[in-house]
């Protein structure tokens, strides 16, 4: 019987000195699935992708892609994958066609096959009429589409995308999400995405692994993850408070019914509470501190609420803590050796 899993990861770990970037994670990805690694910067998502794409060797643990071991048969793995890193890899002075021709030639693809494939890929991303224009003149969204199809030149069975919409405007983000879904739907390409953008994970992924401090803390479909905090006694309240103070926030945070409290702006609190009497307890606590509630809203759970519920902190709390692994000497030495 053919294995339904194209990626199998078992106890994968990566350390840099005393720091553990990826901590004993295990998961599987089905053929044709869009799988997401969701978490803050510095959580270990990109390091996981580097190991799976053979750019970094694991400290311990194993992983296979299409049956090929990422350490024992890295050549076999590379033939199966395409990777789109967080940084765009394009030459500004070359045209769209010249860029794809350059990267395609690295795979030793026959000229006639490569010419046809480049035309097909440019048509796929609706850039045919710009094929002779320098990439340096492209918008950010156009460049990112080019960056994605660059990774498709070898017709990979698995496509790794590291923060594919990072830095894009809303319209470009929609275009990239739609293109990835189309690629998955029409070509059956298995896609693995790392992101800290909740919208990307929610709209694109069949299943999501929530990653925090190098560990997978939850793994399921977006709908099932949201059900973790949509029980009968769980409520998400959004309160606008005219005289919101730090003392008032700490008072609410100290309530036994309050699982998580976040301040969205100078007058707004978002509170995840449990229990039948939670609403009354929150309102009473605010009144005790002379707080005045000007409006209230009962919200449906989002993936950010799920992350907050599981980890106790927001995704953006760690956004400024990203560890520049590429500048870490052991990692840099390892990359040079592998290449």
Q: Residue 308 falls within a domain, yes or no?
A: no
| pLDDT higher than threshold 50 for residue 317 | no
CA distance 165 to 176: 7
| pLDDT higher than threshold 70 for residue 314 | no
Q: Are residues 144 and 258 in the same domain?
A: no
Q: Are residues 133 and 198 in the same domain?
A: yes
At 232 the pLDDT is: 52
At 80 the pLDDT is: 94
Q: Are residues 98 and 216 in the same domain?
A: yes
| pLDDT higher than threshold 80 for residue 122 | yes
Q: Are residues 17 and 130 in the same domain?
A: yes
Residue pLDDT, tens place only, 79-102 = 999 999 877 888 999 999 999 999
Beta-strand relationship, 158-162 and 190-195? parallel
Determine if residue 160 is left, alpha or beta; phi over 0 gives left, psi from -120 to 50 gives alpha, anything else beta: beta
Highest mean pLDDT among 9-13, 40-44, 162-166, 313-317: 9-13
Q: Are residues 32 and 145 in the same domain?
A: yes
Of 221, 241, 264, the residue at which a domain comes to its end is: 221
Q: Residue 334 falls within a domain, yes or no?
A: no
Predicted confidence band of residue 329 (pLDDT cuts 50, 70, 90): very low
Q: Are residues 235 and 216 in the same domain?
A: no
Determine the average pLDDT of the residues in 166-182.
85
Q: Are residues 108 and 242 in the same domain?
A: no
Tokens (6 digits) for 161:
């995308």
Q: Are residues 235 and 182 in the same domain?
A: no
Q: Are residues 36 and 80 in the same domain?
A: yes
| pLDDT higher than threshold 70 for residue 230 | no
Q: What is the CATH number of the domain that holds 286?
A: 3.30.70.100
Domain interval for residue 161: 5-221
Q: Residue 19 falls within a domain, yes or no?
A: yes
Tokens (6 digits) for 125:
């991303």
Number of H helices, E strands in the chain: 12, 14
Beta-strand relationship, 81-84 and 158-162? parallel
37 vs 166 pLDDT, higher one: 37
Q: Are residues 137 and 284 in the same domain?
A: no
| pLDDT higher than threshold 70 for residue 319 | no
Determine the average pLDDT of the residues in 271-296.
90
Q: Residue 322 falls within a domain, yes or no?
A: no
Q: Are residues 99 and 80 in the same domain?
A: yes
Q: Are residues 275 and 157 in the same domain?
A: no
Cα end-to-end distance, the chain, whole Å: 35
CA distance 225 to 227: 5
Mean pLDDT of the chain: 87
> Which residues, in sequence order, are CB contacts of 202 under 8 Å at separation 6+?
222, 302, 303
Q: How many domains does the chain fold into?
A: 2
| pLDDT higher than threshold 80 for residue 332 | no
Tokens (6 digits) for 334:
């390892």
Of 173, 196, 221, the residue at which a domain comes to its end is: 221
CA distance 48 to 21: 9
């Amino acid at each position: 019987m053919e294995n339904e899993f194209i990626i199998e990861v078992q106890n994968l770990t990566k350390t840099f000195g005393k720091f553990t970037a990826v901590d004993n994670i295990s998961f599987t990805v089905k053929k044709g699935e869009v799988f997401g690694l969701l978490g803050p910067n510095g959580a270990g998502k990109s390091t996981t992708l580097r190991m799976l794409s053979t750019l970094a060797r694991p400290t311990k643990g194993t992983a296979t892609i299409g049956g090929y071991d990422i350490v024992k048969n890295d050549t076999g793995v590379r033939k199966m994958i395409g990777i789109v890193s967080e940084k765009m890899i394009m030459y500004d002075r070359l045209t769209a066609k010249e860029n794809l021709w350059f990267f395609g030639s690295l795979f030793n693809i026959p000229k006639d096959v490569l010419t046809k494939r480049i035309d097909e890929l440019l048509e796929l991303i609706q850039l045919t009429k710009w094929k002779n224009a320098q990439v340096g003149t492209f918008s950010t969204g156009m460049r990112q589409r080019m960056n994605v199809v660059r990774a498709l030149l070898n017709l990979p069975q698995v496509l790794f995308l590291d923060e594919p919409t990072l830095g894009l405007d809303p319209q470009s983000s929609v275009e990239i999400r739609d293109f990835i879904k189309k690629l998955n739907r029409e070509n059956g390409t298995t896609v693995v995405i790392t992101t800290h953008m909740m919208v990307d994970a929610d709209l694109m992924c069949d299943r999501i692994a929530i990653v925090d401090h190098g560990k997978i803390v939850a793994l399921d479909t977006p709908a099932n993850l949201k059900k973790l905090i949509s029980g009968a006694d769980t409520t998400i309240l959004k309160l606008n408070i005219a005289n919101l103070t730090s003392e008032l926030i700490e008072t609410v945070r100290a309530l036994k019914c309050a699982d998580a409290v976040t301040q969205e702006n100078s007058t707004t609190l978002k509170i995840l509470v449990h229990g039948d009497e939670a609403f009354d307890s929150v309102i009473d606590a605010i009144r005790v501190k002379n707080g005045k509630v000007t409006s209230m809203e009962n919200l449906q759970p989002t993936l950010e609420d799920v992350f907050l519920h599981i980890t106790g902190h927001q995704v953006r709390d760690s956004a400024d803590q990203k560890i520049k692994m590429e500048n870490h000497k052991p990692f840099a030495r390892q990359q040079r050796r592998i290449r």
